[in-house]
Structure 1
Amino acid sequence: MIRIGLTGWGDHPDVYSPTSKKNEKLIDYSSHFPIVELDASFYAIQPERNIRKWITETPDDFQFIVKAYQGMTGHQRGKLPYATSEEMFQQFKLSIDPMRDAGKLAMILVQFPPWFDCLRENVDQIRYIHSHLKGYDVAIEFRHQSWYTMSMQHRTLEFLKELNFIHTVCDEPQAGVGSIPLIAETTRDDKVFIRLHGRNVNGWRNTTGDNEAWRKVRYLYNYTDSELGEIQQVVDKLKNESKYVFVIFNNNSGGHAAENANRFQKMMGIDFQALAPKQLDFFEEE
Protein backbone atom coordinates (compact mmCIF):
# COMPACT_ATOMS: atom_id res chain seq x y z
CA MET A 1 0.00 0.00 0.00
CA ILE A 2 1.28 3.45 -0.96
CA ARG A 3 0.54 6.45 1.23
CA ILE A 4 1.45 9.94 0.00
CA GLY A 5 1.63 13.17 1.97
CA LEU A 6 3.53 16.37 2.75
CA THR A 7 5.80 17.82 5.39
CA GLY A 8 3.56 19.79 7.75
CA TRP A 9 0.04 21.02 7.10
CA GLY A 10 0.41 24.73 7.82
CA ASP A 11 1.94 26.01 4.58
CA HIS A 12 0.07 24.46 1.66
CA PRO A 13 -2.48 27.00 0.38
CA ASP A 14 -3.68 24.68 -2.38
CA VAL A 15 -5.38 22.34 0.10
CA TYR A 16 -7.31 24.87 2.18
CA SER A 17 -10.94 25.72 1.68
CA PRO A 18 -11.55 29.45 1.07
CA THR A 19 -13.97 29.46 3.99
CA SER A 20 -11.74 27.62 6.46
CA LYS A 21 -10.32 29.24 9.55
CA LYS A 22 -6.62 29.25 10.41
CA ASN A 23 -7.06 26.52 13.03
CA GLU A 24 -8.79 24.23 10.51
CA LYS A 25 -5.76 23.69 8.26
CA LEU A 26 -5.16 20.13 9.45
CA ILE A 27 -8.81 19.27 8.85
CA ASP A 28 -8.52 20.58 5.30
CA TYR A 29 -5.19 18.84 4.77
CA SER A 30 -6.52 15.47 5.91
CA SER A 31 -9.25 15.67 3.29
CA HIS A 32 -6.55 15.33 0.63
CA PHE A 33 -3.77 13.18 2.08
CA PRO A 34 -3.74 10.18 4.46
CA ILE A 35 -0.37 10.96 6.10
CA VAL A 36 1.63 13.99 7.21
CA GLU A 37 5.11 14.54 8.54
CA LEU A 38 4.92 16.38 11.85
CA ASP A 39 7.95 18.68 11.95
CA ALA A 40 6.93 20.85 14.91
CA SER A 41 8.18 18.02 17.13
CA PHE A 42 11.71 18.64 15.81
CA TYR A 43 11.82 22.15 17.28
CA ALA A 44 10.11 21.33 20.56
CA ILE A 45 8.61 18.27 22.22
CA GLN A 46 4.90 18.89 21.81
CA PRO A 47 2.52 19.17 24.76
CA GLU A 48 0.02 16.35 25.04
CA ARG A 49 -2.89 18.71 24.41
CA ASN A 50 -1.59 19.43 20.91
CA ILE A 51 -1.19 15.74 20.12
CA ARG A 52 -4.71 14.93 21.31
CA LYS A 53 -6.15 17.84 19.31
CA TRP A 54 -4.48 16.61 16.12
CA ILE A 55 -5.74 13.09 16.77
CA THR A 56 -9.34 14.27 17.01
CA GLU A 57 -9.09 16.49 13.92
CA THR A 58 -8.09 13.69 11.55
CA PRO A 59 -9.89 10.63 10.11
CA ASP A 60 -9.53 7.26 11.82
CA ASP A 61 -7.06 5.94 9.22
CA PHE A 62 -4.92 9.09 9.13
CA GLN A 63 -1.33 8.71 10.31
CA PHE A 64 1.53 10.95 11.45
CA ILE A 65 5.25 10.59 10.81
CA VAL A 66 6.72 12.35 13.82
CA LYS A 67 10.12 13.97 13.41
CA ALA A 68 12.39 13.33 16.39
CA TYR A 69 13.28 16.27 18.61
CA GLN A 70 16.52 17.99 17.57
CA GLY A 71 18.19 17.24 20.89
CA MET A 72 17.88 13.53 20.11
CA THR A 73 19.64 13.77 16.75
CA GLY A 74 22.56 16.12 17.41
CA HIS A 75 21.06 19.23 15.80
CA GLN A 76 20.61 21.06 19.10
CA ARG A 77 22.98 23.97 19.60
CA GLY A 78 23.65 25.04 23.14
CA LYS A 79 22.40 23.47 26.33
CA LEU A 80 19.51 21.02 26.23
CA PRO A 81 16.39 22.17 28.10
CA TYR A 82 16.34 18.85 29.99
CA ALA A 83 18.33 17.73 33.01
CA THR A 84 19.43 14.50 31.31
CA SER A 85 19.23 12.77 27.95
CA GLU A 86 17.06 10.10 29.55
CA GLU A 87 14.54 12.74 30.62
CA MET A 88 14.46 14.15 27.08
CA PHE A 89 13.67 10.76 25.54
CA GLN A 90 11.08 10.04 28.22
CA GLN A 91 9.27 13.35 27.61
CA PHE A 92 9.31 12.75 23.86
CA LYS A 93 7.74 9.31 24.27
CA LEU A 94 5.10 10.60 26.69
CA SER A 95 4.23 13.26 24.13
CA ILE A 96 3.62 10.88 21.23
CA ASP A 97 2.18 7.89 23.10
CA PRO A 98 -1.45 9.08 22.70
CA MET A 99 -0.85 9.08 18.94
CA ARG A 100 0.53 5.55 19.07
CA ASP A 101 -2.36 4.40 21.29
CA ALA A 102 -4.81 5.81 18.73
CA GLY A 103 -3.12 3.87 15.92
CA LYS A 104 -2.06 7.10 14.20
CA LEU A 105 1.71 6.95 14.66
CA ALA A 106 3.21 5.65 11.43
CA MET A 107 6.80 6.06 12.61
CA ILE A 108 9.33 8.34 14.25
CA LEU A 109 11.74 9.98 11.81
CA VAL A 110 15.26 10.27 13.19
CA GLN A 111 17.06 12.56 10.76
CA PHE A 112 20.74 13.08 11.44
CA PRO A 113 22.59 16.29 10.45
CA PRO A 114 25.00 16.52 7.50
CA TRP A 115 28.01 16.32 9.82
CA PHE A 116 26.88 12.99 11.31
CA ASP A 117 29.29 10.78 9.39
CA CYS A 118 30.03 7.07 9.47
CA LEU A 119 32.22 6.79 12.56
CA ARG A 120 32.26 4.37 15.49
CA GLU A 121 30.96 6.97 17.95
CA ASN A 122 28.01 7.75 15.68
CA VAL A 123 27.19 4.06 15.28
CA ASP A 124 27.17 3.90 19.07
CA GLN A 125 24.84 6.92 19.15
CA ILE A 126 22.39 5.11 16.88
CA ARG A 127 22.47 2.13 19.22
CA TYR A 128 21.82 4.51 22.12
CA ILE A 129 18.75 5.91 20.34
CA HIS A 130 17.59 2.36 19.64
CA SER A 131 17.80 1.53 23.34
CA HIS A 132 15.53 4.48 24.20
CA LEU A 133 12.98 3.94 21.42
CA LYS A 134 12.36 0.21 21.71
CA GLY A 135 8.81 -0.68 20.79
CA TYR A 136 8.45 2.21 18.32
CA ASP A 137 8.74 2.12 14.54
CA VAL A 138 11.78 4.30 13.80
CA ALA A 139 13.00 5.54 10.41
CA ILE A 140 16.62 6.62 10.04
CA GLU A 141 17.68 9.32 7.59
CA PHE A 142 21.34 10.04 6.97
CA ARG A 143 22.66 13.23 5.39
CA HIS A 144 26.33 12.31 5.03
CA GLN A 145 27.55 10.33 2.03
CA SER A 146 29.98 8.23 4.07
CA TRP A 147 27.13 5.90 5.08
CA TYR A 148 26.62 4.96 1.42
CA THR A 149 30.11 4.60 0.00
CA MET A 150 30.79 1.41 -1.96
CA SER A 151 32.51 -0.10 1.07
CA MET A 152 29.86 0.96 3.64
CA GLN A 153 26.46 0.88 1.95
CA HIS A 154 25.78 -2.81 2.53
CA ARG A 155 27.00 -2.60 6.12
CA THR A 156 24.83 0.44 6.76
CA LEU A 157 21.70 -1.31 5.52
CA GLU A 158 22.51 -4.49 7.43
CA PHE A 159 23.02 -2.41 10.57
CA LEU A 160 19.57 -0.86 10.18
CA LYS A 161 18.11 -4.34 9.66
CA GLU A 162 19.84 -5.55 12.82
CA LEU A 163 18.13 -2.79 14.82
CA ASN A 164 14.81 -3.23 12.96
CA PHE A 165 14.98 0.39 11.80
CA ILE A 166 13.19 1.65 8.70
CA HIS A 167 15.44 2.87 5.91
CA THR A 168 14.65 6.37 4.64
CA VAL A 169 15.12 6.61 0.87
CA CYS A 170 15.89 10.21 -0.12
CA ASP A 171 15.68 12.13 -3.36
CA GLU A 172 17.79 15.25 -2.93
CA PRO A 173 20.40 17.37 -4.71
CA GLN A 174 23.78 15.75 -5.16
CA ALA A 175 25.83 18.54 -3.64
CA GLY A 176 28.84 16.99 -1.96
CA VAL A 177 29.33 14.93 1.19
CA GLY A 178 26.38 16.61 2.93
CA SER A 179 23.92 14.91 0.62
CA ILE A 180 23.18 11.25 -0.05
CA PRO A 181 22.37 9.28 -3.19
CA LEU A 182 18.97 7.72 -3.78
CA ILE A 183 19.34 4.16 -2.50
CA ALA A 184 16.11 2.29 -3.27
CA GLU A 185 16.51 -0.38 -0.60
CA THR A 186 14.24 -1.40 2.24
CA THR A 187 15.33 -2.84 5.58
CA ARG A 188 11.91 -4.12 6.68
CA ASP A 189 9.16 -5.98 4.89
CA ASP A 190 6.38 -3.91 6.43
CA LYS A 191 7.45 -0.26 6.07
CA VAL A 192 9.77 1.86 3.96
CA PHE A 193 9.93 5.64 3.86
CA ILE A 194 10.68 7.94 0.90
CA ARG A 195 11.38 11.66 1.40
CA LEU A 196 11.47 13.93 -1.63
CA HIS A 197 13.50 17.06 -0.90
CA GLY A 198 13.64 18.41 -4.45
CA ARG A 199 16.78 18.83 -6.55
CA ASN A 200 17.82 22.42 -5.93
CA VAL A 201 21.59 21.89 -6.12
CA ASN A 202 22.47 25.57 -5.79
CA GLY A 203 20.33 26.06 -2.70
CA TRP A 204 21.12 22.85 -0.85
CA ARG A 205 24.11 24.17 1.09
CA ASN A 206 24.14 27.34 3.16
CA THR A 207 26.94 29.33 1.51
CA THR A 208 26.00 32.76 2.91
CA GLY A 209 25.56 32.01 6.61
CA ASP A 210 22.04 33.49 6.53
CA ASN A 211 19.99 30.61 7.95
CA GLU A 212 16.61 32.29 7.53
CA ALA A 213 17.15 33.10 3.85
CA TRP A 214 18.64 29.68 3.21
CA ARG A 215 15.64 27.83 4.63
CA LYS A 216 13.40 29.72 2.19
CA VAL A 217 15.28 28.44 -0.86
CA ARG A 218 16.70 25.06 0.16
CA TYR A 219 13.54 23.15 -0.73
CA LEU A 220 12.56 25.41 -3.62
CA TYR A 221 11.86 22.93 -6.38
CA ASN A 222 9.09 21.84 -8.73
CA TYR A 223 9.36 18.22 -9.91
CA THR A 224 8.80 17.61 -13.61
CA ASP A 225 6.68 14.73 -14.88
CA SER A 226 9.85 13.00 -16.04
CA GLU A 227 11.40 13.27 -12.57
CA LEU A 228 8.23 12.02 -10.93
CA GLY A 229 8.38 9.13 -13.37
CA GLU A 230 11.79 8.26 -11.92
CA ILE A 231 10.29 8.31 -8.43
CA GLN A 232 7.44 6.12 -9.65
CA GLN A 233 9.96 3.46 -10.69
CA VAL A 234 11.47 3.58 -7.20
CA VAL A 235 8.06 3.23 -5.56
CA ASP A 236 7.12 0.37 -7.90
CA LYS A 237 10.25 -1.48 -6.81
CA LEU A 238 9.78 -0.86 -3.10
CA LYS A 239 6.08 -1.74 -3.02
CA ASN A 240 7.06 -5.28 -4.00
CA GLU A 241 9.48 -5.47 -1.08
CA SER A 242 7.54 -3.76 1.69
CA LYS A 243 3.85 -3.77 2.64
CA TYR A 244 3.59 -0.01 3.20
CA VAL A 245 5.46 2.63 1.22
CA PHE A 246 5.25 6.08 2.78
CA VAL A 247 6.06 8.98 0.42
CA ILE A 248 6.51 12.52 1.73
CA PHE A 249 7.06 15.58 -0.44
CA ASN A 250 9.33 18.04 1.37
CA ASN A 251 9.83 20.56 -1.47
CA ASN A 252 7.83 23.19 0.36
CA SER A 253 9.73 26.45 -0.18
CA GLY A 254 7.84 27.50 -3.31
CA GLY A 255 4.53 25.87 -2.53
CA HIS A 256 5.08 23.04 -5.01
CA ALA A 257 4.75 20.09 -2.64
CA ALA A 258 0.95 19.74 -2.66
CA GLU A 259 0.62 19.98 -6.44
CA ASN A 260 3.55 17.61 -6.98
CA ALA A 261 2.07 15.08 -4.55
CA ASN A 262 -1.33 15.30 -6.21
CA ARG A 263 0.23 14.87 -9.65
CA PHE A 264 2.27 11.92 -8.44
CA GLN A 265 -0.82 10.32 -6.91
CA LYS A 266 -2.58 10.50 -10.28
CA MET A 267 0.47 9.08 -12.06
CA MET A 268 0.37 6.13 -9.65
CA GLY A 269 -3.37 5.66 -10.20
CA ILE A 270 -4.10 5.98 -6.50
CA ASP A 271 -7.44 7.10 -5.08
CA PHE A 272 -7.23 7.48 -1.32
CA GLN A 273 -10.31 6.32 0.57
CA ALA A 274 -11.72 7.18 4.02
CA LEU A 275 -10.44 10.75 3.94
CA ALA A 276 -12.19 13.57 5.78
CA PRO A 277 -15.63 14.35 4.33
CA LYS A 278 -14.56 17.94 3.59
CA GLN A 279 -12.64 16.81 0.51
CA LEU A 280 -12.84 18.99 -2.58
CA ASP A 281 -10.51 18.89 -5.55
CA PHE A 282 -8.77 22.26 -5.44
CA PHE A 283 -6.16 21.03 -7.91
CA GLU A 284 -8.48 20.88 -10.91
CA GLU A 285 -8.46 23.80 -13.31
CA GLU A 286 -11.65 25.81 -13.41
Structure 2
Amino acid sequence: MSSVINPIQIGVCGWGDHDLYPPGTQAREKLAIYAGHFPVVEVDSTFYAIAPVERMERWVNETPESFRFVVKAYRELTGHGRLEKAPVRPWRELVEDMRVSLEPMLRAGKLEAVLFQFPPWYDCSQKHVKYIRRVREAFRDVPVAVEFRNQSWFYPDFHDKTLRLLEQEQCIHVICDEPQAGEGSVPLVVAATVPEQAIVRFHGRNVAGWNNTGQPNWRDVRYAYRYEEAELAEWVGYVRQLEQRVKRITLLFNNNSQGDAVDSANLMMRLLGVEFAGLAPRQLGIF
Protein backbone atom coordinates (compact mmCIF):
# COMPACT_ATOMS: atom_id res chain seq x y z
CA MET A 1 0.00 0.00 0.00
CA SER A 2 1.24 3.48 -0.82
CA SER A 3 1.30 5.92 2.08
CA VAL A 4 -0.44 9.28 2.12
CA ILE A 5 2.33 11.86 1.84
CA ASN A 6 0.19 14.70 0.46
CA PRO A 7 -2.61 15.53 2.93
CA ILE A 8 -3.90 18.02 0.35
CA GLN A 9 -3.90 16.62 -3.18
CA ILE A 10 -4.71 18.71 -6.24
CA GLY A 11 -5.22 17.42 -9.75
CA VAL A 12 -7.42 17.62 -12.82
CA CYS A 13 -9.99 15.44 -14.53
CA GLY A 14 -8.34 13.35 -17.21
CA TRP A 15 -4.74 13.78 -18.30
CA GLY A 16 -4.90 13.75 -22.08
CA ASP A 17 -6.04 17.25 -23.08
CA HIS A 18 -4.01 19.66 -21.00
CA ASP A 19 -1.25 22.12 -21.76
CA LEU A 20 1.45 20.09 -20.02
CA TYR A 21 3.15 18.22 -22.81
CA PRO A 22 5.80 19.04 -25.39
CA PRO A 23 4.72 18.96 -29.03
CA GLY A 24 4.56 15.46 -30.42
CA THR A 25 4.02 13.72 -27.09
CA GLN A 26 2.31 10.39 -27.66
CA ALA A 27 -0.88 9.62 -25.73
CA ARG A 28 0.77 6.69 -23.95
CA GLU A 29 3.49 9.00 -22.62
CA LYS A 30 1.22 11.62 -21.07
CA LEU A 31 0.32 10.02 -17.74
CA ALA A 32 3.96 9.70 -16.70
CA ILE A 33 4.53 13.37 -17.53
CA TYR A 34 1.33 14.40 -15.77
CA ALA A 35 2.51 12.59 -12.62
CA GLY A 36 5.47 14.97 -12.51
CA HIS A 37 3.06 17.86 -11.95
CA PHE A 38 0.20 16.50 -9.83
CA PRO A 39 -0.18 13.63 -7.32
CA VAL A 40 -3.75 12.67 -8.22
CA VAL A 41 -5.95 12.43 -11.30
CA GLU A 42 -9.54 11.61 -12.10
CA VAL A 43 -10.05 8.84 -14.64
CA ASP A 44 -13.01 9.83 -16.80
CA SER A 45 -12.81 7.21 -19.55
CA THR A 46 -14.14 4.51 -17.21
CA PHE A 47 -17.53 6.26 -17.27
CA TYR A 48 -17.88 5.26 -20.94
CA ALA A 49 -16.33 1.80 -20.74
CA ILE A 50 -14.97 -0.33 -17.91
CA ALA A 51 -11.20 -0.38 -18.34
CA PRO A 52 -9.45 -3.70 -18.95
CA VAL A 53 -7.27 -4.90 -16.07
CA GLU A 54 -4.18 -4.65 -18.25
CA ARG A 55 -4.77 -0.96 -18.83
CA MET A 56 -5.30 -0.26 -15.14
CA GLU A 57 -2.11 -2.17 -14.32
CA ARG A 58 -0.20 -0.11 -16.87
CA TRP A 59 -1.43 3.14 -15.30
CA VAL A 60 -0.38 1.86 -11.89
CA ASN A 61 3.08 1.04 -13.19
CA GLU A 62 3.50 4.37 -14.98
CA THR A 63 3.00 6.44 -11.82
CA PRO A 64 4.97 6.94 -8.58
CA GLU A 65 4.18 4.90 -5.50
CA SER A 66 2.23 7.71 -3.83
CA PHE A 67 0.17 8.65 -6.90
CA ARG A 68 -3.62 8.37 -6.54
CA PHE A 69 -6.54 7.78 -8.91
CA VAL A 70 -10.19 8.76 -8.56
CA VAL A 71 -12.01 6.44 -10.98
CA LYS A 72 -15.45 7.28 -12.34
CA ALA A 73 -17.93 4.42 -12.15
CA TYR A 74 -19.30 3.06 -15.40
CA ARG A 75 -22.41 4.90 -16.61
CA GLU A 76 -24.77 1.91 -16.34
CA LEU A 77 -23.96 1.77 -12.62
CA THR A 78 -24.90 5.44 -12.09
CA GLY A 79 -28.28 5.60 -13.79
CA HIS A 80 -27.06 7.17 -17.04
CA GLY A 81 -28.02 4.13 -19.11
CA ARG A 82 -26.21 2.30 -21.88
CA LEU A 83 -24.35 3.83 -24.74
CA GLU A 84 -25.92 3.21 -28.13
CA LYS A 85 -25.15 -0.33 -29.38
CA ALA A 86 -23.66 -1.39 -26.05
CA PRO A 87 -24.72 -4.96 -25.20
CA VAL A 88 -27.35 -5.57 -22.56
CA ARG A 89 -25.64 -7.01 -19.49
CA PRO A 90 -26.89 -7.98 -16.01
CA TRP A 91 -26.18 -5.51 -13.21
CA ARG A 92 -24.20 -8.07 -11.22
CA GLU A 93 -21.96 -8.71 -14.21
CA LEU A 94 -21.26 -4.99 -14.56
CA VAL A 95 -20.41 -4.76 -10.86
CA GLU A 96 -18.05 -7.70 -11.06
CA ASP A 97 -16.31 -6.33 -14.15
CA MET A 98 -15.88 -2.96 -12.43
CA ARG A 99 -14.51 -4.60 -9.30
CA VAL A 100 -12.02 -6.66 -11.30
CA SER A 101 -10.95 -3.54 -13.20
CA LEU A 102 -10.26 -1.69 -9.93
CA GLU A 103 -8.19 -4.48 -8.42
CA PRO A 104 -4.74 -3.35 -9.66
CA MET A 105 -5.22 0.11 -8.13
CA LEU A 106 -6.64 -1.32 -4.93
CA ARG A 107 -3.75 -3.75 -4.61
CA ALA A 108 -1.20 -0.98 -5.15
CA GLY A 109 -2.95 1.37 -2.70
CA LYS A 110 -3.50 3.90 -5.48
CA LEU A 111 -7.30 3.96 -5.60
CA GLU A 112 -8.42 7.14 -3.86
CA ALA A 113 -12.07 6.43 -4.60
CA VAL A 114 -14.51 5.16 -7.19
CA LEU A 115 -16.76 8.08 -8.06
CA PHE A 116 -20.48 7.48 -8.53
CA GLN A 117 -21.70 10.65 -10.20
CA PHE A 118 -25.46 10.44 -10.46
CA PRO A 119 -27.32 12.26 -13.26
CA PRO A 120 -29.39 15.45 -12.96
CA TRP A 121 -32.67 13.50 -13.00
CA TYR A 122 -31.57 11.31 -10.08
CA ASP A 123 -33.70 12.91 -7.41
CA CYS A 124 -33.95 12.34 -3.68
CA SER A 125 -36.45 9.48 -3.57
CA GLN A 126 -36.81 6.20 -1.74
CA LYS A 127 -35.82 4.10 -4.74
CA HIS A 128 -32.63 6.10 -5.25
CA VAL A 129 -31.72 5.90 -1.57
CA LYS A 130 -32.15 2.13 -1.82
CA TYR A 131 -29.95 2.06 -4.89
CA ILE A 132 -27.13 3.93 -3.15
CA ARG A 133 -27.26 1.34 -0.38
CA ARG A 134 -27.18 -1.42 -2.99
CA VAL A 135 -24.11 0.13 -4.61
CA ARG A 136 -22.37 0.46 -1.28
CA GLU A 137 -22.99 -3.19 -0.49
CA ALA A 138 -21.69 -4.27 -3.89
CA PHE A 139 -18.50 -2.22 -3.42
CA ARG A 140 -18.19 -2.69 0.34
CA ASP A 141 -14.38 -2.97 0.38
CA VAL A 142 -13.84 -0.04 -2.01
CA PRO A 143 -13.77 3.68 -1.12
CA VAL A 144 -17.00 4.97 -2.70
CA ALA A 145 -17.62 8.66 -3.42
CA VAL A 146 -21.08 9.98 -4.28
CA GLU A 147 -21.78 13.11 -6.30
CA PHE A 148 -25.32 14.36 -6.75
CA ARG A 149 -26.50 16.48 -9.65
CA ASN A 150 -30.07 16.99 -8.49
CA GLN A 151 -30.85 19.83 -6.10
CA SER A 152 -33.49 17.89 -4.20
CA TRP A 153 -30.88 16.00 -2.15
CA PHE A 154 -30.08 19.28 -0.42
CA TYR A 155 -33.54 20.76 -0.02
CA PRO A 156 -33.98 21.96 3.58
CA ASP A 157 -36.05 18.87 4.47
CA PHE A 158 -33.48 16.45 3.03
CA HIS A 159 -30.11 18.18 3.55
CA ASP A 160 -29.24 16.59 6.90
CA LYS A 161 -30.78 13.24 5.96
CA THR A 162 -28.66 13.10 2.81
CA LEU A 163 -25.45 13.68 4.73
CA ARG A 164 -26.53 11.19 7.40
CA LEU A 165 -27.21 8.57 4.70
CA LEU A 166 -23.69 9.02 3.33
CA GLU A 167 -22.23 8.82 6.83
CA GLN A 168 -24.14 5.64 7.63
CA GLU A 169 -23.08 4.01 4.37
CA GLN A 170 -19.49 5.31 4.75
CA CYS A 171 -19.64 7.05 1.39
CA ILE A 172 -17.53 10.11 0.62
CA HIS A 173 -19.68 13.16 -0.02
CA VAL A 174 -18.32 14.87 -3.14
CA ILE A 175 -18.37 18.61 -2.55
CA CYS A 176 -19.10 20.54 -5.74
CA ASP A 177 -18.20 24.01 -6.89
CA GLU A 178 -20.55 24.41 -9.83
CA PRO A 179 -23.03 26.84 -11.40
CA GLN A 180 -26.24 27.40 -9.49
CA ALA A 181 -28.48 26.72 -12.44
CA GLY A 182 -31.66 25.20 -11.16
CA GLU A 183 -32.75 21.64 -10.42
CA GLY A 184 -29.82 20.03 -12.23
CA SER A 185 -27.20 21.57 -9.97
CA VAL A 186 -26.39 21.28 -6.29
CA PRO A 187 -25.48 23.99 -3.79
CA LEU A 188 -22.10 24.23 -2.14
CA VAL A 189 -22.23 21.93 0.89
CA VAL A 190 -18.86 21.88 2.67
CA ALA A 191 -19.37 18.72 4.68
CA ALA A 192 -17.29 15.58 5.18
CA THR A 193 -19.04 12.26 5.75
CA VAL A 194 -16.05 9.97 6.38
CA PRO A 195 -13.00 10.74 8.53
CA GLU A 196 -10.47 9.50 5.99
CA GLN A 197 -10.97 12.01 3.22
CA ALA A 198 -12.93 14.70 1.44
CA ILE A 199 -13.21 15.18 -2.32
CA VAL A 200 -14.01 18.48 -4.02
CA ARG A 201 -14.73 18.77 -7.74
CA PHE A 202 -14.53 22.17 -9.45
CA HIS A 203 -16.82 22.32 -12.48
CA GLY A 204 -16.59 26.05 -13.10
CA ARG A 205 -19.41 28.55 -12.74
CA ASN A 206 -20.74 28.82 -16.27
CA VAL A 207 -24.40 29.32 -15.39
CA ALA A 208 -25.50 30.03 -18.96
CA GLY A 209 -23.87 26.90 -20.35
CA TRP A 210 -24.60 24.42 -17.57
CA ASN A 211 -27.94 23.02 -18.70
CA ASN A 212 -28.59 21.36 -22.04
CA THR A 213 -29.87 24.03 -24.40
CA GLY A 214 -30.00 21.73 -27.42
CA GLN A 215 -26.63 22.84 -28.71
CA PRO A 216 -24.52 20.00 -30.18
CA ASN A 217 -21.42 21.20 -28.29
CA TRP A 218 -23.23 21.57 -24.97
CA ARG A 219 -20.97 19.22 -23.04
CA ASP A 220 -17.96 21.24 -24.11
CA VAL A 221 -19.55 24.57 -23.29
CA ARG A 222 -20.77 23.64 -19.80
CA TYR A 223 -17.22 23.27 -18.42
CA ALA A 224 -15.85 26.35 -20.14
CA TYR A 225 -14.86 28.57 -17.25
CA ARG A 226 -11.74 30.30 -15.98
CA TYR A 227 -11.77 30.79 -12.23
CA GLU A 228 -10.68 34.19 -10.99
CA GLU A 229 -8.21 34.29 -8.14
CA ALA A 230 -10.80 35.76 -5.77
CA GLU A 231 -13.14 32.83 -6.46
CA LEU A 232 -10.53 30.24 -5.59
CA ALA A 233 -9.33 32.29 -2.63
CA GLU A 234 -12.77 31.66 -1.12
CA TRP A 235 -11.79 28.02 -0.94
CA VAL A 236 -8.80 28.50 1.31
CA GLY A 237 -11.09 28.88 4.31
CA TYR A 238 -13.20 25.88 3.28
CA VAL A 239 -10.12 23.70 2.90
CA ARG A 240 -8.88 24.76 6.34
CA GLN A 241 -12.27 23.73 7.76
CA LEU A 242 -12.04 20.34 6.09
CA GLU A 243 -8.50 19.83 7.37
CA GLN A 244 -9.95 19.73 10.88
CA ARG A 245 -12.33 16.93 9.93
CA VAL A 246 -10.48 14.58 7.58
CA LYS A 247 -7.03 13.09 7.08
CA ARG A 248 -6.66 14.18 3.45
CA ILE A 249 -8.40 16.38 0.91
CA THR A 250 -8.51 15.86 -2.85
CA LEU A 251 -9.29 18.86 -5.08
CA LEU A 252 -10.06 18.05 -8.72
CA PHE A 253 -10.54 20.60 -11.48
CA ASN A 254 -12.99 19.75 -14.25
CA ASN A 255 -13.22 23.22 -15.88
CA ASN A 256 -11.34 22.16 -18.97
CA SER A 257 -13.55 22.86 -21.97
CA GLN A 258 -11.14 25.66 -22.91
CA GLY A 259 -8.02 24.34 -21.19
CA ASP A 260 -8.39 26.14 -17.86
CA ALA A 261 -8.15 23.22 -15.42
CA VAL A 262 -4.36 23.07 -15.08
CA ASP A 263 -4.06 26.82 -14.54
CA SER A 264 -6.80 26.66 -11.89
CA ALA A 265 -5.09 23.74 -10.16
CA ASN A 266 -1.76 25.58 -10.11
CA LEU A 267 -3.43 28.71 -8.77
CA MET A 268 -5.06 26.71 -6.00
CA MET A 269 -1.69 25.23 -5.09
CA ARG A 270 -0.27 28.72 -4.74
CA LEU A 271 -3.19 30.02 -2.70
CA LEU A 272 -2.97 27.08 -0.29
CA GLY A 273 0.82 27.22 -0.17
CA VAL A 274 1.21 23.49 -0.87
CA GLU A 275 4.00 21.61 -2.59
CA PHE A 276 3.70 17.96 -3.51
CA ALA A 277 6.05 15.20 -2.43
CA GLY A 278 6.58 11.99 -4.37
CA LEU A 279 6.00 13.34 -7.87
CA ALA A 280 7.53 11.67 -10.88
CA PRO A 281 10.80 13.21 -12.13
CA ARG A 282 10.03 15.87 -14.72
CA GLN A 283 11.33 15.21 -18.18
CA LEU A 284 13.77 17.76 -19.50
CA GLY A 285 11.78 18.10 -22.70
CA ILE A 286 8.98 20.03 -21.00
CA PHE A 287 11.15 22.96 -19.87
What TM bracket, shorter-length normalisation?
A: over 0.9
Residue correspondence of structure 1 range 22-171 to structure 2 within 5 A: 22-77=27-82, 81-171=87-177
Quick check: 2:22–2:285 contact (8 Å CA) kept in 1?
A: no
Q: 1:81 offset after TM fit, Å?
A: 2.9
Other-structure match for 2:4: none
Q: 1:153 offset after TM fit, Å?
A: 0.4
Secondary structure at 2:195 match in 1: coil
**What is the aligned length?**
280
Normalising by structure 2, report the TM-score: 0.94
Q: 1:53 offset after TM fit, Å?
A: 0.9
Quick check: 1:32–1:279 contact (8 Å CA) kept in 2?
A: no
Normalising by structure 1, report the TM-score: 0.94
Q: 1:232 offset after TM fit, Å?
A: 1.7
Q: 1:79 offset after TM fit, Å?
A: 7.7
For 1:100 and 1:81, how far apart are their aligned partners in 2?
27
- Residue 177 of structure 2 aligns to which amino acid in structure 1? D
4+ residue segments displaced more than 2 Å? 17-22, 77-83, 279-283
Q: 1:102 offset after TM fit, Å?
A: 0.7
Residue identity (%): 45
Structure 2: tracts of 5 or more residues without a match: 1-6
Residue correspondence of structure 1 range 194-205 to structure 2 within 5 A: 194-205=200-211
For 2:188 and 2:286, how far apart are their aligned partners in 1?
31
For the aligned residues, what is the CA RMSD? 1.7
Other-structure match for 1:248: 252
For 1:186 and 1:279, how far apart are their aligned partners in 2?
37
Residue correspondence of structure 1 range 4-23 to structure 2 within 5 A: 4-13=10-19, 15-18=20-23, 20-23=25-28
- Residue 253 of structure 1 aligns to which amino acid in structure 2? S
- Specify which of 197, 209, 227 is matched with residue 231 of structure 2: 227
Q: 1:237 offset after TM fit, Å?
A: 0.9
Q: 1:38 offset after TM fit, Å?
A: 0.3
**Higher mean Cα deviation, 16-25 or 265-274?**
16-25
- Alignment of 1:218 onto 2:236: no
Other-structure match for 1:276: 280
Structure 1: tracts of 5 or more residues without a match: none
Quick check: 1:17–1:28 contact (8 Å CA) kept in 2?
A: no
Q: 1:44 offset after TM fit, Å?
A: 0.2
For 1:282 and 1:236, how far apart are their aligned partners in 2?
33
